[in-house]
């Protein structure tokens, strides 16, 4: 009996985990950009942004998926309406270049730190340059005057 209950609970948990919630207008508005002001729809109050928000709400009420609504808005306004660039083709560079720059930066900083640490280790303590004997004698005399 307890095995059957455990099995039923497991199946119910798995089914509940796979259910997807309907997209909310706020989620979709944060993924799209106003063509006039360049901010996301959830931050924009431009007239075109207001119309786009109404359109999103109407399409969601009609049962359209998030993907369908995005595709319709891209068809109407172009790919610049997406807040994040597509992860394919030439637009993939927008995702890869910052990562490549970060990797290069890490390598450069690491190489500089390694070089700096090697330079400090090879000479031991930083050695002060020798003073001119005449200047050294004068410094010693001046120090002796203040020590008395």
Q: What is the pLDDT of residue 5?
A: 54
Q: What would the two tokens of residue 63 be?
A: 């049962």
pTM of the model: 0.49
pLDDT at 1: 60
What phi and psi values does residue 26 have, to the nearest 5 degrees? -65, -40
Count of other CB atoms within 10 angstroms of residue 50? 13
What's the CA gap between 85 and 73, in Å, rounded? 14
- What pLDDT score does 123 carry? 58
pLDDT of residue 124: 54
List the chain residues with pLDDT less than 70.
Answer: 1-22, 86, 120-129, 148
What is the pLDDT, as a whole number, of residue 133?
Answer: 87
| pLDDT score of 131 | 76
CATH number, domain 21-84: 1.10.8.640
At residue 22, the pLDDT reads 64
CA 29/CA 135 separation, integer angstroms: 75
Task: Decide: 34 and 18 in contact? Cβ < 8 Å.
Answer: no
């Amino acid at each position: 009996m307890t095995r059957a209950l455990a099995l039923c609970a497991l199946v119910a948990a798995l089914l509940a985990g796979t259910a997807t919630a309907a997209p909310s207008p706020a989620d979709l508005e944060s993924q799209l950009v106003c063509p006039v002001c360049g901010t996301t729809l959830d931050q924009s109050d431009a007239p075109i942004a207001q119309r786009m928000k109404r359109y999103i709400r109407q399409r969601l009420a009609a049962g359209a998926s998030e993907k369908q609504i995005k595709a319709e808005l891209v068809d109407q306004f172009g790919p610049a309406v997406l807040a994040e660039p597509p992860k394919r083709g030439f637009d993939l560079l927008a995702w890869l270049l910052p990562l490549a720059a970060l990797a290069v930066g890490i390598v450069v900083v690491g190489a500089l730190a390694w070089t700096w640490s090697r330079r400090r280790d090879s000479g031991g303590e930083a050695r002060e340059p020798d003073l001119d004997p005449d200047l050294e004698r004068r410094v010693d005399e001046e120090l002796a005057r203040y020590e008395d």
